[in-house]
Amino acid sequence: MIAFFGMGLLGSNFVRASLRRGAEVQVWNRTASRATALVSDGAKAFADPAAAVKGAERLHLTLSDDAAVDEVLEQARPGFAPGVVIVDHTTTSPTGTRARAELWASRGVEFQHAPVFMGPQNALESTGIMLASGDPARVARLRPELEKMTGKLVDLGPGAERAASFKLFGNLFLMFMTAGIAEVLTLAKALDVKPEDAATIFDIFNPAAAVGVRSKRMVGGDFATPSWELSMARKDARLMLEEGVRHDVPLPMLPAIAATMDRFIERGHGHDDWMVIGKDAVTR
């Protein structure tokens, strides 16, 4: 039997998928109605975290943040059965995750962080990507059950906080990608191009194909043989910003990028590849 805390869109579908696989699941949520809504699917709902975890071999969490995880685990602790394993799918800080793993280890309770790249539908269909890090033996032991939840489990090696770090890397890039799309549509507005027309640029030009190549080149520090000089990239940024001002439609994200370009040009990198703006991040 497993317990599952946090019945938001992701957690509730994880529970539904587990029930469909024949698992016995006890659920708790701060807003009780979200837990009781799963009773019709076969879950057992509890109003108290300690009661909800009694008898469980694993406690799964999909909560909001570090503070929520710490608070709920303390509330549930009196109900822990011997040998229970905490499996936390919450996106949390690497610092908090490391401290949490150390705390529960000192209490004789195994803590496994396992954040995911997946949406609610993925949780229901058991498709997506789950990350894990920490004790290799524990990850190997949990793998069969965790893979049932997501289809793919990526072990990032020792270090309790590594999965939390990689989850933030992925989410950070998603934020920049989404902001970039918004910026393109903002420039389209300034240039009187319909957003649905502007969006077709990604049918013509696929920047995703270059992400892996660019990241490896940046990590390798190869900036002296440019495919696009920083000074020319900065010129294009100027054109974009000028059009925004001209049409009274400011671009909110681009000024920060332009300012970074300016700093590197001032440092003498104008004729280097424009990816030199990542030099400080990869220089040890």
Q: Residue 57 phi/psi, 5° resolution?
A: -85, -25
Cβ pair 98, 161 in contact under 8 A: yes
Alpha carbon of 141 to those of 94, 216, 220: distances in Å? 23, 33, 36
Is residue 281 left, alpha or beta, with left meaning phi > 0 and alpha meaning psi from -120 to 50?
alpha
Compute the residue count for the chain: 284
**Residue 283 banded pLDDT, cuts 50, 70, 90:** confident
Provide the CA 70 distance to its chain's centre, in angstroms: 19
Domain final residue pick, 131, 159, 187: 159
> For residue range 212-252, what is the model confidence (pLDDT) as tens digits?
999 999 999 989 999 999 999 999 999 999 999 999 999 99
Q: Are residues 142 and 191 in the same domain?
A: no
Q: What is the pLDDT of residue 234?
A: 98
Give bridge partners of residue 117 from the DSSP assignment: 129
**Total domains in the fold of the chain:** 2
Q: Are residues 176 and 253 in the same domain?
A: yes
Q: Are residues 198 and 131 in the same domain?
A: no
For the range 239-248, what are the long-range contacts, defined as Cβ-Cβ under 8 Å and sequence gap of 24 or more? 240/187, 243/187, 243/190, 243/191, 244/186, 244/187, 244/190, 246/190, 247/189, 247/190, 247/191, 247/192
Question: Cα separation of 240 and 138, whole Å?
Answer: 51
- How many Cβ atoms from other residues are within 10 Å of residue 263's Cβ? 11
What single-letter DSSP state applies at residue 8?
S
Provide the CA 80 distance to its chain's centre, in angstroms: 28
**Is the alpha carbon torsion for 130, 71, 45, 139 positive or negative?**
positive
Q: At 191, which CATH number? A: 1.10.1040.10
Q: Are residues 142 and 237 in the same domain?
A: no
Q: What pTM was estimated for this model as a whole? A: 0.94
Q: Are residues 110 and 186 in the same domain?
A: no
**Mean pLDDT within 155-161:** 97
Strand order in the sheet with 25-28: 44-45, 25-28, 2-5, 58-61, 85-88, 110-113
pLDDT at 284 over 80: no
Q: Are residues 51 and 79 in the same domain?
A: yes
> For residue range 118-139, what is the model confidence (pLDDT) as tens digits?
999 999 999 999 999 999 999 9
| DSSP string of 37-104, one letter each residue | TTGGGT-EE-SSHHHHHTT-SEEEE--SSHHHHHHHHHHHGGGPPTT-EEEE-S---HHHHHHHHHHH
Structure tokens given for 37:
């809504």
Percent of the chain with pLDDT over 90: 97
Q: Are residues 93 and 175 in the same domain?
A: no
**Residue 209 banded pLDDT, cuts 50, 70, 90:** confident
Q: At 93, which CATH number? A: 3.40.50.720
Q: Are residues 244 and 155 in the same domain?
A: no
Q: Residue 4 phi/psi, 5° resolution?
A: -135, 125
Q: Are residues 174 and 150 in the same domain?
A: no
Domain final residue pick, 159, 185, 217: 159
> For residue range 94-110, what is the model confidence (pLDDT) as tens digits?
999 999 999 999 999 99
Cβ pair 27, 52 in contact under 8 A: yes
Provide the CA 166 distance to its chain's centre, in angstroms: 7
Cβ pair 230, 272 in contact under 8 A: yes
Q: Are residues 135 and 169 in the same domain?
A: no
Q: Are residues 133 and 27 in the same domain?
A: yes
Domain final residue pick, 159, 183, 201: 159
Percent of the chain with pLDDT over 70: 100
Structure tokens given for 244:
């925004």
Question: What is the domain range of residue 128?
Answer: 2-159
Alpha carbon of 204 to those of 47, 150, 180, 207: distances in Å? 53, 32, 17, 10
Q: What is the pLDDT of residue 208?
A: 87
Q: Are residues 189 and 272 in the same domain?
A: yes
